[in-house]
Structure 1
Amino acid sequence: LRLADEDSHPHLCCSVCLSFPEAEVLQCCAGHIVCGGCYERVCHEEKPSCPSCREALDLFKPIRNMLAERSIAMLPIRCPNDECGRMLTRGGLPTHLADECAYRRVACKYSPLGCKWEGVAGELAAHEDRCKKAEAPGWKLLKRVVEREAAQRSAHAAALTAAREGQRVVEMLSSRCKNVEFTNVVLHRCSAHEHVAGRPAHCVSATFHALGFRWKLYTLSEHTERRFSAVLQLRESRAPLRTDAFILPGHVMPEGVQLRIGTLARTFDSRHKTSEPVLLAEGGAAEQLDALESVTLRVGLIDRRAGRPDPGFLGQLNMGGGGLDGWDE
């Protein structure tokens, strides 16, 4: 059976990446096909259009090409595990790799009890017959169960906190405001004598402009508590400024480090120019961030002052209503 490649079946290739689509196949109204990943990227453009014919794409009614999906699923392909080399169809490959291939990588079923063995599926049964973890005494099993439950509770609590912070950002962006601005901020390690909020600063950004004001962002690293926080500072104050803010990870973060979404609500004025510290990371993630010489963060600032929206800000206007009536307070 001859292997199928992109050169021999160009009509089944994505018109952007020129590869066979792995899952859904989408198309424009003229029939040019695009894989799911490329289609999503195209839809994020200012004016989404087909890369081949430039016909506009309807984001609310994507067209799925079922015939192309079935044709691609029937194409022959070889198992990527060299020791196996079995000829399959593209549609049957995921099942083969997950459940059938004797050379797929698997772990021992006693891994929750601490077994570190990993190998090919064909050797799994022989290993499990002689795995010493299967004979572990009851107290060791109980200890493992307790540790696993504690880890699961900790992971659940962290996920719940992240979900709540995400919901808080959604609520901030959904409520009435004058303006919203987003800024990518690069912070660099600052000198040892620089302090903010009564504590030594870790990194500091250059002054940036948002909502018509000048701001600075600081990070704090609390070694004893293994916490990494951010502090937002208003550099000028002409009048009280009621602001909501959220801090997100930037586009460049160390591998494996997950930052929490930080949120705050504050009225800045001449006597209160600095926010309270906003927690971004704890534990090992905080220690990794503390070792960095620079950090990239994304800051969203929401102007909560009363009055009409700023010129050019149309994010929350009801275009079916009667202009800006009702915004004055």
Structure 2
Amino acid sequence: MSSMEERGEVGVAAAPGSSSGLGVGAVGAALETVVGGPSMQEEVGFRRGEGLGPESDPDEPPPKKRMRLPEGESGKLEERLYSVLCCTVCLDLPKASVYQCTNGHLMCAGCFIHLLADSRLKEEQATCPNCRCEITKSLCCRNLAVEKAVSELPTDCPFCLKQFPRSSLERHQKEECQDRVTQCKYKRIGCPWKGPFHELPAHEEECCHPTKTGTELMGILGEMDQSHSRELTLYNSIFSLLCYEKIGFTEVQFRPYRTDDFITRLYYESPRFTVLNQTWVLKARVNDSERNPNLSCKRTLSFQLILKSKVNSAIECSFLLLKGPYDDVRIKPVIHHHAFSNDTNETDYVPLPITDSVECNKLLAAKNINLRLFIFQIQK
């Protein structure tokens, strides 16, 4: 048989200089056998022809442009994102604002405020726990990209254990979750039942509180009235004070200072201010001058009002502190009374009515504490 016929039997001659006698078609068939998919030549031809309209086969499924990760690999990716986006202090994903130092290390809002408050108590410069660079409210900024990324990460609903993006979890827990904890609609007449939402209709059909006698309900309603009466008494007292002839208020700015003791303590004092034609000063202290308040998780502030003017007769006053017009700290108003004279010109230290230690840390982290003071002079 001639050499041309031999080449015709093989199909395509081997390229010159090649040590193999296999043609391109055979190489493609070998690759298909090893890989278990279409040959390289067919794949290239398909890719070149895709999207050409009539020439492509409409019945053929479209190519996979991106391989899907197995479920295990996806979970590992989420775990890696958790470790990248977590707070460098508490090692948990931030629930609200995210701050970063000048080198990019992330801190959740609670830890950031706590670091600033601790540095104020220790009389030290606040530093990043990772790189030890200086951190302040002016040097650090929020990282909006991380906040958005964290809000899109999945998290488990604590009630039904299904996964939802963090941005929609709150709405799911309040409105959609069938396993969320709810209360009976007859709780206003003393029903203590709490349970999953899907069991609520069955409970309300069998609830015995709607059938209670009037005598039983009167005892339950009496306990509820006591808590409401305390709140009503406070507001009525404030409205009564507004009827006084002499009322004064001012914005008060507390500035931090240190004592001259061997172990210095942090305290706050305001500049002198004038209200009701008298000169006053406000002072505040942390944890009632506890020796090491930075070692305590419970943080409190107490304040006293001092009359600096000399008076001819005693001045009986009521006073209260509220938050300033631009602060976000939560303060519950409490009315205090004192009769000021030249001998009793200072009130006792009374607690600043903030809700918890988190609010106290907000005040300690600030450069100055801004509050609003109201003084009502009681006419004899």
TM range (shorter): 0.3 to 0.5
Point out the structure with the larger strand share.
1
TM-score under structure 1 normalisation? Answer: 0.47
| Higher helix proportion | 2
